[in-house]
Amino acid sequence: MRRRALAALAVVTLGACLPLGWRWWVLSRPLAVSWVDPEPGPRPLPDVPTGPLTGLTVYVSAGHGLLLHRKNHDGDPIAWGTQRDRSHGMIEDEWTAAFVRDELAPELEAAGATVIALRERDTHPDAFVADEPSGVVGSLGEVADASAEGGSHRRLLPGGSASWELPVVEPGHWYVYARWAEAPDQDPHAIYTVVAGDQVREVVVDQTVHGGVWFALGDMCLDSAEPIEVTLTGSGEGRLSADAVRVGGGTFHVVLPWNLELRQAPFADVAMAHQLERLGGPVGLDEYDCGSAVSDMRLRAYWASSVWPAGEEAVYLSIHTNAGGGRGLTVFYGVDTQPPTQTRPESRRLAKLLEDAVVDAVRERDPEYRTMGTRPGDYSEISPIHDALPSALLEMGFHDDRVDAARLQTVPFRQDAARGIVDGLIAWRAGEPAGEDLPLGPRGAVPPPDVWSRPE
User: How much is the pLDDT for 32?
Assistant: 37
- Nearest 5 degrees, angle CA 173-CA 179-CA 185? 145
In terms of Cα–Cα distance, which of 119, 124, 159, 164 is closest to 140? 159
Q: What is the CATH number of domain 57-111+282-429?
A: 3.40.630.40
Compute the distance between CA of residue 128 and CA of residue 244 in angstroms, rounded to an integer.
Answer: 11
60 and 319 in contact (C-beta within 8 Å)? yes
Residue range(s) in the chain whose domain bears CATH number 3.40.630.40 = 57-111+282-429
The DSSP code sequence of 34-68 is --PPP-SS--PPPPPP--TTTT-EEEEE----BEE
**Contact at 8 Å (CB) between 342 and 335?**
yes
Q: How far, in Å, CA of 145 to CA of 35, rounded?
A: 33
- The answer for residues whose C-beta is within 8 angstroms of residue 367's C-beta and 6 or more apart is none
Confidence (pLDDT) at 214: 93
Q: Identify the pLDDT of residue 169.
A: 86
- Count of beta carbons in the 10 Å neighbourhood of residue 316: 28
Q: How far, in Å, CA of 424 to CA of 360, rounded? A: 10
CATH 2.60.120.260 residue spans of the chain: 3-51+125-248
Burial of 374 (0-12, 13-18, 19+ CB in 10 A): buried
CATH topology of domain 3-51+125-248: Jelly Rolls (2.60.120)
State the amino acid at position 321 in one-letter form: T
Q: Which residues contact 269 (CB under 8 A, 6 or more apart)?
A: 65, 66, 93, 94, 97, 123
Helix (H) or strand (E) holding 97: helix 92-99
Q: Is the dihedral of CA 245, 249, 254, 100 positive or negative?
A: positive
The 8-class DSSP code of residue 158 comes to E
- Secondary structure string (H, E, C) spanning 272-306: HHHCHHHHECCCCCCECCCCCECCHHHHHHHHHHH
- Give the length of the chain: 456
Tell me the C-alpha distance between 271 and 93, whole Å: 8
Helices (H), 100-207: 105-110
Q: How many CA atoms lie within 13 A of 200 on its CB side?
A: 8
Q: What is the pLDDT of residue 288?
A: 83
Buried b or exposed e, range 211-242, using 16+ CB within 10 angstroms: bbbbbbbbbbbbeeebebbbbbbbbbbbbbbb
Taking the alpha carbons at both ends of the chain, their separation in whole angstroms is 42
Cβ contact 125:250 at 8 Å: yes
> Which amino acid is residue 65, in one-letter code?
G
Task: Supply the pLDDT for residue 17.
Answer: 57
The strand pair at 199-205 and 240-242 is best described as unpaired
Mean pLDDT by 10 residues, the chain (456 residues): 34 37 34 43 74 97 90 74 94 98 96 95 95 93 94 95 92 94 97 91 93 91 91 96 96 93 96 88 80 86 94 98 96 96 98 99 98 97 96 98 98 99 99 97 92 81
Instruction: Give yes or no for a cis peptide into 339 (omega within 30° of 0).
Output: yes
Q: What is the structure's pLDDT at 299? A: 93
